Amino acid sequence: MIKDDCIFCKIAKGDIPSATIYESNELKCILDVAPANKGHALIIPKEHFDNIFELDAETAAKVFSFATIAAKAIKEETNCDGLNIVQNNGEVAGQTVNHFHMHIIPRYKDDGVKLGWKQLETNPDEQNELAKAIKSRL
């Protein structure tokens, strides 16, 4: 499905220009127009899925499979010291474009990019109970 009012559907179709790294029938990989760092890329399935809750496992596999290839090429080209894969789902999680996409963000020493969180405390009983509850929903 393609959504008429979706910016990434338009990019996928080529109606909006993008700095394209790779394109197949299913995927497009482009440079982010407002990158966290030099070489920040996005992998976008051409089909419209709002987020991971709509995405099928087969398309997800293609996205991540290509991420392994893109990550190596970006590392080689940019000489980055590390790299984050980031994928936001929902406004509270930082998603601003509601068409599933995966960020590939090269990292450089002392680059100041912030992706961290405060770590909560846990206890084994609660963790095991939660793991079991989630397992029952798989």
Q: Which sequence positions are flagged as catalytic?
A: 101
Q: Is 32 an interacting residue with respect to ligand AMP (CB under 6 A)? A: yes
Stretch near ligand AMP under the rule CB under 6 A, chosen from 20-28, 59-67, 88-96, 118-126: 88-96
Q: Is 102 an interacting residue with respect to ligand AMP (CB under 6 A)? A: no
Q: Is 97 an interacting residue with respect to ligand AMP (CB under 6 A)? A: yes
- DSSP symbols for 51-86: STTT--HHHHHHHHHHHHHHHHHHHHHH--SEEEEE
What are the phi and psi torsion angles at 43 (to 5°)?
A: -105, 125
How many residues bind to Zn ion according to rule CB under 5 A? 6
> Residues 30, 63, 74, 104: which binds ligand AMP (CB under 6 A)?
30
Instruction: Give CA–CA dist 11/31, Å, rounded.
Output: 12
Pair 83, 106: CB distance under 8 Å:
yes
Interface ranges with Zn ion (CB under 5 A) = 3, 6, 8-9, 48, 99
